[in-house]
Amino acid sequence: MTEAYFAKKTLMENNWNPDSLIKLEKIKKEFYNKPNKSKKLKIPKYCPKCGNKLKDKTKICPYCGIHVDEY
């Protein structure tokens, strides 16, 4: 949707009240100026041979004994 179309649609929905565009601009500024607080997802590590869940820095699987990095 283009900006002009969206502005016209907003005006039509609000009985051509120009204050609706001012409110719309304030909402857009708040939305785009918000700091990004997303957290990085922590993906669990699994053994490539047996499929058991491992701790983050595990180099040897405690279940099957393989070197995880070399497999």
In this structure, the chain runs to a length of 71
Sign (positive or negative) of CA dihedral 45, 49, 52, 54: negative
In one letter, which amino acid is 38?
A: S
Per-residue pLDDT at 9 exceeds 80: yes
Q: What percent of the chain has pLDDT over 70?
A: 94
Residue 41 has pLDDT above 80, yes or no: no
Alpha carbons 28 and 46: distance in angstroms, whole number: 42
Rounded to 5°, angle at Cα 56 from 53 and 62: 50
Instruction: Please give the model's pTM, rounded to 2 decimal places.
Output: 0.41
Which residue did the predictor score with more confidence, 21 or 39?
A: 21
* CA separation for the pair 55, 18 (Å, rounded): 58
DSSP category for residue 67: B
- Residue 38 confidence (pLDDT) above 80: no
Q: Higher-confidence residue: 2 or 47?
A: 47
